[in-house]
């Protein structure tokens, strides 16, 4: 059993208030949880309007599945979020 963890740092130029940012963050987290059955939360930069930092974690049976899941999540965020990915950190424990 392995733990797949990733951190996504996103830039949302359309956000001009924390309320707009919160709408994007809540929507993205709900979509990730529903589609991939992972734990997800905003983990940093809560007071910055245009930067979103999301942490995602899942328990997987082996490393290959962890890599595959993280690839799918990254692609999903790119395609389904108004924000662009600035940075991505992955870890398998």
C-alpha triplet 68, 44, 52: angle, nearest 5°: 65
Mind listing the pLDDT tens digit for each residue in 28-80?
Answer: 999 999 999 999 999 988 888 899 999 999 999 999 999 999 999 999 999 98
Residue 25, SS3? helix
Structural domain spans, the chain: 2-92
CA triple 1-25-7, angle to 5 deg:
40
> In the CATH scheme, what is the code of domain 2-92?
3.30.70.1120
pLDDT at position 60: 94
Query: What's this model's pTM, rounded to 2 decimal places?
Result: 0.88
């Amino acid at each position: 059993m392995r733990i797949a963890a990733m951190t996504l740092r996103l830039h949302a130029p359309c956000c001009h208030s924390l309320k707009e940012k919160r709408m994007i963050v809540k929507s993205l987290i709900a979509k990730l949880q529903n589609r991939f059955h992972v734990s997800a939360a905003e983990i940093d930069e809560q007071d910055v309007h245009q930067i979103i930092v999301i942490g995602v974690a899942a328990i997987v049976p082996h490393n290959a599945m962890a890599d595959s899941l993280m690839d799918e999540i990254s692609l999903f965020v790119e395609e389904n979020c108004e924000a662009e990915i600035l940075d991505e950190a992955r870890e398998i424990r």
